[in-house]
């Protein structure tokens, strides 16, 4: 609806002239009551599912922290097994302006997933960046409690607030990745982060982290087990996230059905625990969302079955 300007507008006069379907007050009351009841169940299901996601991640990090904590090997400092060899470059010039750029905002906390990557020239970057490649581990020094760690499989540029760590021959890249995600390392990083303004980890504190480094063969075995655990729990989290999405879609669908003229009529013999016009199987699936927390007991067994046999406490 346009009033002659380049921007479409909806005037009061046009709004007042719109025809809408208005049921009786009694029917309106029934629709609202049933939608409220359905939305309460959906919101509860979403809340439980999101708690499951967090609980799953908590178990995951607790488990592989225990695995990394109880290894046999030599005492090392992080600075003994990795370096930062990359030099800052100007991203405005070739070939760097054609590289993908990884900033802190492009790294999902805890998961190591990269999102919304763009080339340096697309972002019109002007400040200095570190080059990196697929042999390195990227660790964001800003707000270490977010656990932003990446195993890139490509070459690119990263923010100066991200450390491009190059492993030595003594440590596998994947082992270094899991080490930096562990609760023990995270607590250490937090303890030494600058408290003024935004918390960040400086290089001396990062490289001073002491830990036990197992043999290469043991590292390979541990990596295999941790990768297996990670894959299983990623699948479980994806399942929960899909359930949350389905529930939110259902909520909007119920609104659409309830306020469409053809669906707004409610028969007197309709069950009071169903929203007006709602498809009963859909409501049953929504109710199943409330039961998602029952899978918590299965999660523990799933995680422990992939461990070395130790209990998770």
Report the percentage of the chain scoring pLDDT > 70.
78
| Band of residue 250 on the pLDDT scale cut at 50, 70, 90 | confident
Neighbour tally for 46: CB within 10 Å: 20
Rounded to the nearest 5°, which phi and psi values hold at 7? -110, 125
Q: Beta strand 137-140 with 149-150: parallel, antiparallel or unpaired?
A: antiparallel
Angstrom distance (rounded) from CA 165 to CA 113: 17
Pairing state between β 100-102 and 156-158: parallel
Whole-model pTM over 0.85 = no
Give the pLDDT mean for 86-95: 93
Res 89 pLDDT > 90? yes
**What pLDDT, on a 0 to 100 scale, did the predictor assign at position 157?**
96
Q: Please say whether the beta carbons of 163 and 203 come within 8 A.
A: yes
Phi, psi of 151 (to 5 degrees): -110, 85
Confidence check: pLDDT of 68 > 70: yes
Taking only Cα atoms into account, the Rg of the chain, rounded to an integer number of angstroms, comes to: 27
Q: What is the average per-residue pLDDT within 4-8?
A: 58
Question: Residue 117: is its pLDDT beyond 60?
Answer: yes
More confident residue, 176 or 62: 176
Mean pLDDT of the chain: 80
Percent of the chain, pLDDT > 90? 44
At 275 the pLDDT is: 46
The band of 111, judged by pLDDT with boundaries at 50, 70 and 90, is confident
Question: Using 50, 70 and 90 to split pLDDT, how confident is the model at 29?
Answer: confident
Residue 283 binned pLDDT confidence (cut-offs 50, 70, 90): very low
Residue 123 confidence (pLDDT) above 50 = yes
Instruction: Report all structural domains of the chain as residue ranges with CATH numbers, in order of start.
Output: 26-62+227-305 (no CATH), 77-211 (3.90.220.20)
What are the start-end ranges of the E strands in 127-216? 130-132, 137-140, 149-150, 156-158, 162-167, 210-213
Measured CA to CA, the distance from residue 149 to residue 109 in angstroms comes to: 8
Residue 280: φ, ψ to 5°: -65, -40
Six-digit token string for 257? 């059905």
Looking only at the bridges linking them, the beta strands covering 162-167 and 82-83 are antiparallel
Q: How confident is the model at residue 195 (pLDDT cuts 50, 70, 90)?
A: low
Using pLDDT thresholds of 50, 70 and 90, give the confidence band for residue 7: low
E strands, the chain, in order: 74-77, 82-83, 100-102, 118-119, 130-132, 137-140, 149-150, 156-158, 162-167, 210-213
Token digits of residue 64: 């592989």
**Residue 302 to residue 229: CA distance in whole angstroms:** 8
| pLDDT tier, 251 (very low <50, low <70, confident <90, very high otherwise) | confident
pLDDT tens string 140-158: 999 999 999 999 999 999 9
Residue 264: the pLDDT is: 43
Tokens of 179: 């080490």
CA gap 152, 102 in Å, rounded: 10
Most confident segment among 36-50, 123-137, 231-245, 284-298: 123-137
């Amino acid at each position: 609806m346009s009033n002659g300007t380049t921007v479409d507008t909806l005037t009061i006069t046009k709004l007042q002239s719109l025809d809408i379907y208005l049921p009786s007050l009694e029917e309106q009351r029934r629709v609202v009551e049933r939608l409220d009841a359905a939305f309460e169940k959906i919101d509860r299901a979403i809340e439980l599912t999101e708690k499951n996601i967090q609980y799953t991640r908590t178990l995951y990090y607790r488990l592989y922290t225990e695995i990394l904590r109880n290894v046999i090997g030599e005492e090392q400092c992080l600075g003994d097994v990795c370096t930062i060899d990359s030099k800052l470059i100007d991203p405005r010039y070739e070939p760097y302006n054609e590289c993908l750029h990884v900033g802190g905002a492009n790294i999902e906390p805890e998961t190591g997933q990269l999102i919304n990557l763009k080339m340096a020239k697309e972002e019109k970057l002007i400040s200095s960046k570190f080059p990196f490649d697929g042999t390195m581990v990227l660790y964001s020094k800003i707000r270490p409690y977010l656990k932003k760690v990446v195993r890139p499989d490509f070459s690119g540029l990263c923010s100066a607030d991200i450390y491009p760590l190059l492993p030595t021959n003594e440590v596998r890249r994947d082992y270094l990745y899991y080490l930096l995600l562990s609760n023990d390392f995270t607590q250490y990083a937090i303890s030494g982060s600058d408290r003024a303004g935004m918390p960040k980890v400086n290089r001396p504190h990062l490289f001073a982290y002491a830990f036990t480094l197992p043999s290469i063969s043991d590292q390979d075995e541990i990596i295999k087990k941790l990768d297996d655990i990670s894959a299983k729990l990623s699948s479980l989290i994806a399942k929960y996230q899909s359930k949350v999405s389905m529930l939110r879609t259902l909520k909007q669908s119920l609104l659409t059905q309830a306020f469409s003229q053809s669906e707004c009529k409610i028969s007197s013999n309709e069950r009071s625990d169903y929203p007006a016009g709602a498809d009963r199987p859909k409501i049953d699936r929504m109710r199943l969302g409330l039961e998602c927390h029952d899978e918590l007991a299965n999660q523990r067994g799933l995680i422990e079955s992939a461990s070395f046999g130790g209990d998770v406490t």
